[in-house]
Amino acid sequence: MSQFTLIEYVPNRGQHIKFVVFGCPTDQNTHEYAKLLKIRNITEIIKVSDKNYSRDAFDQHGITINDGFIYPDGQFPNKELIGRWLSYVVTKFTNKDVPAIGIHCDAGLGRAPVLVAIALIHCCGMKPMNAITYIRSSIKYAFNRPQLLGLINYHNSDGCCIVA
């Protein structure tokens, strides 16, 4: 089973954000995942992987699965997806009492950490390299070359996302 990694940041300015990053569940372990996520007060999972698994265990634990942010494995998300992601994150974390949001890709090393890094840059005002380092302090092998280049070239300008 995948490791669950909490990425939480409480900035001096901006929004307090919390994510639990993990690898994709399988039909054989969804009940274990659901129990562990429920213990962490996760009520929603962002599914960034196109792999399929049974949602029954998550439904039974009151955990919803949002598959509106899937993008190709090993890639950096496009501007449209980034815009939807940032709208979602800003809305979710406006309430300071929101629990962490679960987010997974296939292994928990690429697509999910990329979206978390974009949230750190946009919502918390982190510089791209600081967001990369912050996530890699918890997820050692996060990001491949195209994802790193996408993050390094990503800019946040007064709440407007710009992908260079």
Q: Mind telling me the catalytic residues?
A: 73, 105
CA distances from 6 to 26, 79, 116 (A): 21, 26, 11
- Of the candidates 126, 123, 128, 122, the one whose C-alpha atom is nearest the C-alpha of residue 149 is 128
Give the Å distances, CA to CA, from 136 to 51, 86, 94, 109: 24, 21, 26, 10
**Cβ–Cβ under 8 Å, residues 112 and 39:** no
* Alpha carbon distances (Å) from 149 to 17, 19, 79, 101, 163: 24, 22, 15, 25, 11
